[in-house]
């Protein structure tokens, strides 16, 4: 496989300043910010200043660590296809946070990435920096074949289909949700569906069950992206969006794993909170149950 990266001497890395939604940062070489070091639509070049620290040796640009499961898989791991090609060099990350990277580390371990992680918090000059294009991004939707392969660690292709019909529940999740989701779950259980609370399961179990199920449905959310950590999926996916937010990036990725995704936007009423803690009420449960009845 032809290499898809460059090794740049004396690159400068400017730390992230801002939030997950809008920030400045970037990797500079010969005074120019490299577009492949930014996230389109949400980041822009920082001001180039003199380095506060210098790193000797070779490092890999890893991108940005976000403490959100879906964003971690699509964006924090966007350079995984490059990391796979580069051995055990340390990986440089930036983040809007200063600590608590347990989720990111857990996902990296699941993907068998055990490189040293270095968080860039101040302007840094790097003797040699490996950098290449992101393999995935949300807008416009992008998922390269190399990135799909790099993420697909769990061997679902060697697993027998479980036949499970799974509802990915948010009823016990601490952030937002659907006020009358429990009533929907009760009906689905009567129809033979399993109610799965992903946040209560170890990551390998999440990925195994989602990738081997015959049908996976639920409110739009990060749990669906666990399917991307398997080498294939066996079933159909149904996403019910609370925000009229169709997930084209998820549809693109699943299509490369032989999966199919259908999205629906049932009518909801805002009950309380602001994003991401919004609680909605489903106006007509039949808008979900009618889709899933008989599956």
In the chain, domain spans: 6-151, 156-292
E strand or H helix at 6, and its extent?
Answer: strand 6-18
| pLDDT tens-digit readout, 31-62 | 999 999 999 888 999 999 999 999 999 999 99
Residue 139: the pLDDT is 85
Distance (Å, whole) CA 153 – CA 132: 21
For the cut 80, the answer to whether the pLDDT of residue 275 exceeds it is no
Residue 14 near residue 31 (C-beta atoms within 8 A): no
How far CA 88 is from CA of 77, 85, 148, in Å, comes to 16, 9, 21
Q: Of 138-142, 152-156, 216-220, give the lowest mean pLDDT range.
A: 138-142
Residue 186: the pLDDT is 97
| pLDDT tens-digit readout, 65-98 | 998 899 999 999 999 999 999 999 999 999 998 7
Question: Hey, which CATH number is domain 156-292, 2.70.98, 3.40.1440, 3.40.50, 3.30.70?
Answer: 3.40.50
Proportion of the chain above pLDDT 70, given as a percent: 97
Instruction: Extract the tokens encoding 270.
Output: 């805002």
Q: Which of 285, 162, 137, 154 is nearest to 219 (CA)?
A: 285
Residue 226: the pLDDT is 96
Instruction: Extract the tokens encoding 57.
Output: 């040796």
What is the length of the chain?
295
The mean pLDDT value of the chain amounts to 93
* Residue-by-residue DSSP string for 90-105: -EEEE-S-SS--HHHH
């Amino acid at each position: 496989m032809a290499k898809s990266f460059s090794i740049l001497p004396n690159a400068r890395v400017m730390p992230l300043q801002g939030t997950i939604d809008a920030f400045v940062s970037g990797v500079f070489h010969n005074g120019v910010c490299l577009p492949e070091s930014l996230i389109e639509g949400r980041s822009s070049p920082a001001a180039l200043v003199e380095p506060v620290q210098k790193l000797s040796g070779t490092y890999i640009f890893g991108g940005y660590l976000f403490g959100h499961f879906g964003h971690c898989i699509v964006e924090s791991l966007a350079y995984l296809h490059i990391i796979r090609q580069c051995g055990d060099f340390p990986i440089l990350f930036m983040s809007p946070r200063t600590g608590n990277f347990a989720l990111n580390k857990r996902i990296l371990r699941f993907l068998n990435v055990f490189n040293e992680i270095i968080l860039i918090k101040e302007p840094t000059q790097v003797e040699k920096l490996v950098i290449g294009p992101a393999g995935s991004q949300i807008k416009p939707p992008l998922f390269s074949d190399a990135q799909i392969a790099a993420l697909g660690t769990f061997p679902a292709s060697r697993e027998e289909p479980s036949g499970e019909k799974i509802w990915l529940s948010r009823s016990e999740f601490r952030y937002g949700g659907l006020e009358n989701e429990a009533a929907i779950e009760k009906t689905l259980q009567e129809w033979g569906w399993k109610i799965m609370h992903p946040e209560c399961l170890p990551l390998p179990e999440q990925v195994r069950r989602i990738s081997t199920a015959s049908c996976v449905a639920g409110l739009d959310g990060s749990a669906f992206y666990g399917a991307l950590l398997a080498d294939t999926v066996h079933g159909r996916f149904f996403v019910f969006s609370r925000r009229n937010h169709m997930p084209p990036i998820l549809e693109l990725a699943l299509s490369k794993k032989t999966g199919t995704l259908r999205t629906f936007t049932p009518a909801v009423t805002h009950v309380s909170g602001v994003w991401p803690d919004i609680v909605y009420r489903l106006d007509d449960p039949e808008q979900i149950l009618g889709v899933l009845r008989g599956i």
